[in-house]
Amino acid sequence: MSGIISYDGTNFSGYQVQPDQRTVQGNLEKVLQRMHKGEFVKVIASGRTDTGVHAVGQVFHFDTPLSIAPDGWKRALNTLLPDDIRLLSIDEVASSFHARYDVSAKEYQYRVLRADEEDVFRRNFTFHYPFALDIDQMRRAANYLIGEHDFTSFCSARTEVVDKTRTIYKLDISESGEELIFSIKGTGFLYNMVRIIVGTLLEIGNGRRSPEDIPDMLLAKDRDVTGKTAPGHGLYLWEVSYEKEE
């Protein structure tokens, strides 16, 4: 079975299971174990999300001997899951389907609150940034990131994967009320990559760096040349695609 869930990341120590921590995967597996009379069911998601990071459309799969209709799975899981995880849909998939290996593209959103004052109702859902921003400069900088690049400078220095080449299809910056919304879609993202891109674009928007610094940052292949990692609570895993063609 493969499902799509949304979760409010505020009260989770991220997606992935960790001992003695409240995690999304931990809750999914606990509920599935209950439905399987105590038998452990491994859940595979499209990828991890960090502490505080939200999901609008995280995808996962699991194998099960139970024959329950999708509606029955949905009702049962939403009854048993905590109310900060909601199953949006679930369907039978080919046994060859793999929620992580088969990803063809991922889209993230990052939300920045441009207001003088923090908003109590959005404090866990946007990054409050009360400083001046030149959006045009940020869009110019964003254009340098679109396409295929080695993103070594734009991922955590702790990233273990060897090939750091990724393709960004889209990097839009739109305004909605007091919020600035980054929509970024690509083949895949390295650890902290979206948050470092957003942090760097904010420093460019604030005039502390120039859009024309981006090509040099990419060439440097050094995490130290880019901006600060924007905090997790502004980030949303928006959509995971599995089409072979974009």
Known binding-site positions: 108
Nearest-angstrom CA–CA distance, 156 and 134: 26
Nearer CB in complex with a copy of itself: 22/42:
22
Which tokens in the block code for residue 81? 């899951």
Binding status of residue 6 toward a copy of itself by CB under 8 A: yes
60: amino acid identity, one letter: F
Query: At closest approach, how far in Å is the CB of 199 from a copy of itself?
Result: 21
Binding status of residue 86 toward a copy of itself by CB under 8 A: yes
Query: At closest approach, how far in Å is the CB of 108 from a copy of itself?
Result: 16
Nearest-angstrom CA–CA distance, 191 and 155: 6
- By C-alpha distance, which of 188, 193, 243 is closest to 218? 193
The answer to whether residues 7 and 87 touch, using CB atoms and an 8 Å cutoff, is no
Query: At closest approach, how far in Å is the CB of 7 from a copy of itself?
Result: 6
Nearer CB in complex with a copy of itself: 125/154:
125
Q: What residues are paired with 113 via a beta bridge?
A: 128, 179
Nearest-angstrom CA–CA distance, 12 and 49: 10
Interface region with a copy of itself, contact rule CB under 8 A, candidates 39-47, 93-101, 117-125, 203-211:
117-125
The answer to whether residues 164 and 155 touch, using CB atoms and an 8 Å cutoff, is yes
CA angle 210, 214, 219 (to 5 degrees): 140
Centre a 10 Å sphere on the Cβ of residue 101 and count the other Cβ atoms it contains: 9
Nearer CB in complex with a copy of itself: 86/139:
86
Using the rule CB under 8 A, which residue among 119, 212, 222, 246 binds a copy of itself? 119
Nearest-angstrom CA–CA distance, 59 and 102: 11
Catalytic residue among 8, 50, 63, 222: 50
172 an active-site residue?
no
Using the rule CB under 8 A, which residue among 84, 140, 188, 191 binds a copy of itself? 84
Known binding-site positions for substrate: 108
Binding status of residue 51 toward a copy of itself by CB under 8 A: no
Binding status of residue 118 toward a copy of itself by CB under 8 A: yes
- By C-alpha distance, which of 158, 161, 184, 181 is closest to 171? 184
Query: At closest approach, how far in Å is the CB of 117 from a copy of itself?
Result: 7
Using the rule CB under 8 A, which residue among 40, 65, 95, 121 binds a copy of itself? 121
Per CB under 8 A, residues contacting a copy of itself are 6-8, 54, 83-86, 88, 117-121, 123, 125
Active site residues: 50
